[in-house]
Chain A
Amino acid sequence: MSLPDGVERRDFDGETGLATRGHPEYGERTDGEWRRWDPHRSKLGAMLELGLDTGLEGGETVLYLGAAAGTTASHVADFAGPTYAVEFAPRPTRDLLDVADHRGNLFPLLKDAREPATYAHVVEPVDVVVQDVATRGQGRVAALNERFLRPDGRLLAAIKARSEDVTADADAVFADVLAAVEDEYEVLATERLDPYHDAHLGVVARPRRE
């Protein structure tokens, strides 16, 4: 499994970890201009660490749903091209703005990922949709945002079981969410993100249309 251009495995004080080049944002360890991308703090980081075939090569146009304070979005913008970062909660978005100040290719948007019409006038067609939204209806969010993907694009989603139903069995939740995703996508690969993230499923999918 090759890593995208701009993501490298590097040594941080005797520990090997993923890294990207950019302005440090949250007290992560650094080595020169390289900054550690901790898979425990980032679901996409965990997907790469676990060797899931994301298809990422570097330089892609990205729509990031659920950017929160920008921990992962900052690493994505380090190796990707134009990166649209959608977040719904105002508080973390303040931190996301700081991350965007250091990255001309990161475009922060205070919008609801369940209402794509509110940002379709800004977001161009993209190569990759990264989704990490901790709300109910994660499958529906993925289906609604399929419209932004180019025909050969990829959805990279981290599905959080507890956001759908705190009591239900995780596998049953994942099956339901995947069924909703499959309305619009063909699922190419899935993998549990343990031990980095408890009860999360990493999903790689591509649009079903021609």
Chain B
Amino acid sequence: MTDETAAWFAGLDPEDEAGAAAAVTEGSADHTADWPALAVEAGFADDADDYYERLHAATTRATREAVRERERADDQQLVHAVRAMADCERTANELAERVAEWGGSRYGDDGAGVDYAREVAARGPEDDESDRALRSLAERTLDLAEEAAALRATIERTAPAVAPNLSALAGPVLAARLLSLAGSLESLAKQPSGTVQVLGAEDALFAHLQGNAPSPKHGVIYTHEYVSGTRPEERGSAARALAGKLAIASRIDHYSGDRRPDLERELDERIERIRTRSQGGDGQ
């Protein structure tokens, strides 16, 4: 009796496919039982063949939905990783500036950035208290820079699993930044391409909306070579074209998850046209 109530098909209308999938995903039982025979007995299936057909439909549907949900949940891990990477990079740079300022005052060096911190960290021991303190700070700075690099490697490895098309078009790190700015893959997939185009340029956008500034042509997608590597006069067109494809890619990643290599080809061709038309001078 208890076995029967625990069955995935218990209490289900045989036609209720969504309910069957939910029961496969959420149900549980302490023991197995001869479910096919029990299902026929309970009138859920006409015979074993009929039962297996329903089971196949229920398990494939449940598993397809569960896969999608789990991969979507992974987008939050990616968002954390990219935010942590940005924090580590920013803090490493700030500390590197502090090290450079301090080192300049002590040794008359004029180095800068993480490279200078590396130089200071590698210096031999000196007994002076301030030398030790400065060297220790330089070491922490390098640790943070290394942490940022490790996080970047993690993002490069995981982003293609979470958002395969977006990662292929934008590169894994920019893809993760877009997810982070939108909040999740789902909310990115719901943004119009004009919003994707200016994600990360919110300050400029609000200044524009208040009437104090021109409209921003690009946000974080500026880091993409297709925008930054295009002549300034055509950069707005390139940003619009790129954002359009990124918006489509994020929707495919969220709603279907299939790889669509055509997107990359279409984007390549579009950018190629934008870049050549300004050189040809025919306006178009």
Contact = CB atoms under 8 A, between A and B. Distances in A.
A110 B70 contact: yes
Contact of B27 (A82, A90, A121): A121
Contacts of B231: none
Given A108-B59, A109-B24, A121 B53 contact: no
Nearest to B160: A91
Taking chain B's interface residues, is the majority helix, strand, or loop, or is none over half, making it mixed? helix
A101 interface: yes
B226 interface: no
Contacts of B161: 91
A96 B23 CA distance: 20
A124 B32 contact: yes
B36 interface: yes
B59 A120 contact: no
A47 B180 CA distance: 47
Contacts of B6: 120-121
A106 B257 CA distance: 22
B56 A97 contact: no
A107 B59 contact: yes
A100 B8 CA distance: 19
A117 interface: yes
B71 A122 contact: no
Contact of B64 (A97, A107, A120, A147): A97
Interface residues of B, number: 31
B71 A120 contact: no
Interface string A54-95: 000000000000000000000000000010000000110110
B71 A91 contact: yes
A101 B52 CA distance: 14
A150 B273 CA distance: 66
Interface in B15-31: 23-24, 27-31
Contact of A122 (B31, B55, B60): B55
A121 B70 contact: no
Interface string B36-78: 1000000000000000110110011011101100110010000
Nearest to A126: B32
Interface of A: 82, 90-91, 93-94, 96-97, 100-101, 104-110, 117-118, 120-125, 147-148
Interface of B: 6-8, 23-24, 27-36, 52-53, 55-56, 59-60, 62-64, 66-67, 70-71, 74, 161, 257
